[in-house]
Structure 1
């Protein structure tokens, strides 16, 4: 091939990459339920863990959104007991991955939990798409599943708080946590989220719930008929109770630094409103419902229902720029 043909080929590749649209999310992949990967259980590395692993587990993987071309770090957290939340220290866990085209889980590597019950997985840069991650405890066979989304620049998303925004009130998270009852949904919350999914927007669930509520939160989203990823919970009670606005602002900034373009955000609390505006979202992009509707200059949704809002603000909203 001569130099002119090489130059032309290079220009074509550059042009196609510049004008290529981000991938649309595929909720059907996020909503699919897969059996856990099969792996043989082994010996306890830390014999004291035998005393806690008979308790209910609250393991979770922190979902990640990462830009194409960037290395990836996944953190899994393992603990037991609905009251004590005792960390699983110094035990082996196995990590698996499953892409949209895989027919089974692919084993990646093993890692050891630290004194905080956390194990990390490092991956090199990956192609755009949605992935499932599984982490299993070798000692007792328990495990947890999370979501990895690798995105191209300007992947458009809509962000949702959960308690008091998609659920009827903040207090109802207790029912999800204890598995006594499902939280009641805010009027037309399902239609709100589904409408944006149908338009091609990436769903983002950003909650100040502590990580051990993650298991119940995924269960609630599934019960609602909503895709359970991407879900981001806080790392401690201190953050949830006293630093929620700062935490949510940082998470929104992190998402946008990784290629996510948040076009709209929904919340109900003062901390939601503060985070939306401080992270750079405009008042017209930031919606709040409930008693604090309109706080911090956000756009108020009245009557504690999304019905009128969907009719006037969502049904005529444009499709996402994705393919």
Structure 2
């Protein structure tokens, strides 16, 4: 029996004024690094899994943003092998949670992966803040960490694509994936992202990278000196290759339905531009860089650098409407 309602007594939503400003995100808390929770290793539930767990793991948790008080389901994906990407099928995993002010991880529940290597964690409505989720595999001791962000209505955010937008080119993702090298950043990309963080905006990283790139992407963000969450990757090659604009449009609409107010978005591809405009962002809110800058009516950023853009469009941008 799942007793989450008792485990989450300290986290449950408390009454708040409907007129209060949203909480500002706290990048320094998002950037903290924690040791994985300790849990006992055990036997394999599915004995055949022992033949894949010697391979490198590419586990990931699909980050979620949810409105205050709204239940949410978090999905973890377990995958082994840089080439085969074999799913961890029908295996026991353990979920843990850690709030931004918690001193330690809190065990939540045990789940079993399905035939696609996915396990889910259902959580009740919680108060606003940044939460870490950890999912561990007792059979081999591996695991993965992700972010759950609980927001109040009209939490202002700035959205960034990654490849060709924060990185120099789309091809740079191979280095992150293989661990051979970190992707080169676009000129002044760090300053661009950090400027909005300093102004109090929630960062959103929305990429069409497929899920097994999440591990390397988080490492790259940390290497850049940027918080790892909220990071949203695609869960299938088909989506990444053939449904990119549709996928990003859906994700933006979902974010806004959960209380996020995207004030600006940055991309480089035609699919980014299409998603920004189709999701209801205005041309003045939608920025594109690179060879397709200005596509679909978006505002172009010239010279493949953010230097001039920061001076003319960011340095005088107001603080986020938060407290």
Taking the aligned partners of 1:37 and 1:17, their CA distance within structure 2 comes to: 35
CA contact (8 A) 1:71 1:122 kept: yes
TM-score w.r.t. the length of structure 2 is 0.95
Taking the aligned partners of 1:59 and 1:28, their CA distance within structure 2 comes to: 25
Taking the aligned partners of 2:170 and 2:222, their CA distance within structure 1 comes to: 19
Partner residue in 2 for 1:120: 120
Partner residue in 2 for 1:26: 26
Deviates more, 1:158-167 or 1:40-49: 40-49
Q: Structure 2: 5+ residue runs without aligned partners?
A: 1-13
Taking the aligned partners of 1:60 and 1:279, their CA distance within structure 2 comes to: 27
What's the CA shift for 1:148? 0.3
CA offsets per residue over residues 67-90 of structure 1, 9 Å max, x none? Answer: 012111000000000000000001
Partner residue in 2 for 1:17: 17
Confirm whether residue 317 of structure 1 aligns to residue 308 of structure 2: no
What's the CA shift for 1:18? 2.6
What's the CA shift for 1:29? 1.1
Taking the aligned partners of 2:86 and 2:115, their CA distance within structure 1 comes to: 10
Taking the aligned partners of 1:179 and 1:63, their CA distance within structure 2 comes to: 22
After TM superposition, the runs of 4+ consecutive aligned structure 1 residues lying more than 2 A away are none
Partner residue in 2 for 1:300: 300
Taking the aligned partners of 2:242 and 2:91, their CA distance within structure 1 comes to: 32
SS of the equivalent of 2:192 reads helix
SS of the equivalent of 1:18 reads coil
Partner residue in 2 for 1:279: 279
Counterpart mapping for 1:1-323 below 5 A: 17-323=17-323
CA contact (8 A) 1:273 1:286 kept: yes
What's the CA shift for 1:61? 0.1
CA offsets per residue over residues 184-210 of structure 1, 9 Å max, x none? Answer: 000000000000000000000000000
Q: Structure 1: 5+ residue runs without aligned partners?
A: 1-12
CA offsets per residue over residues 147-195 of structure 1, 9 Å max, x none? Answer: 0000000000000000000000000100000000000000000000000
SS of the equivalent of 1:171 reads helix
CA offsets per residue over residues 20-39 of structure 1, 9 Å max, x none? Answer: 00000011111111000000
Taking the aligned partners of 1:229 and 1:152, their CA distance within structure 2 comes to: 17
RMSD: 1.0
CA offsets per residue over residues 209-266 of structure 1, 9 Å max, x none? Answer: 0000000000000000000100000011111110000000000000000000000000
Please identify which structure carries the higher helix content.
1
Taking the aligned partners of 1:201 and 1:45, their CA distance within structure 2 comes to: 44
Taking the aligned partners of 1:314 and 1:32, their CA distance within structure 2 comes to: 26
Taking the aligned partners of 1:45 and 1:228, their CA distance within structure 2 comes to: 32
Q: How many residues align?
A: 310
Taking the aligned partners of 2:139 and 2:29, their CA distance within structure 1 comes to: 30
Taking the aligned partners of 1:138 and 1:118, their CA distance within structure 2 comes to: 15
What's the CA shift for 1:319? 0.2
CA contact (8 A) 1:91 1:138 kept: no
SS of the equivalent of 1:254 reads helix
Taking the aligned partners of 1:44 and 1:28, their CA distance within structure 2 comes to: 38
TM-score w.r.t. the length of structure 1 is 0.95
SS of the equivalent of 1:19 reads coil
Taking the aligned partners of 1:27 and 1:94, their CA distance within structure 2 comes to: 27
SS of the equivalent of 2:75 reads strand
Taking the aligned partners of 2:101 and 2:294, their CA distance within structure 1 comes to: 43
Taking the aligned partners of 1:128 and 1:134, their CA distance within structure 2 comes to: 19
CA offsets per residue over residues 106-139 of structure 1, 9 Å max, x none? Answer: 0000000000000000011000100000000010
Taking the aligned partners of 2:306 and 2:209, their CA distance within structure 1 comes to: 23
Taking the aligned partners of 1:26 and 1:229, their CA distance within structure 2 comes to: 11
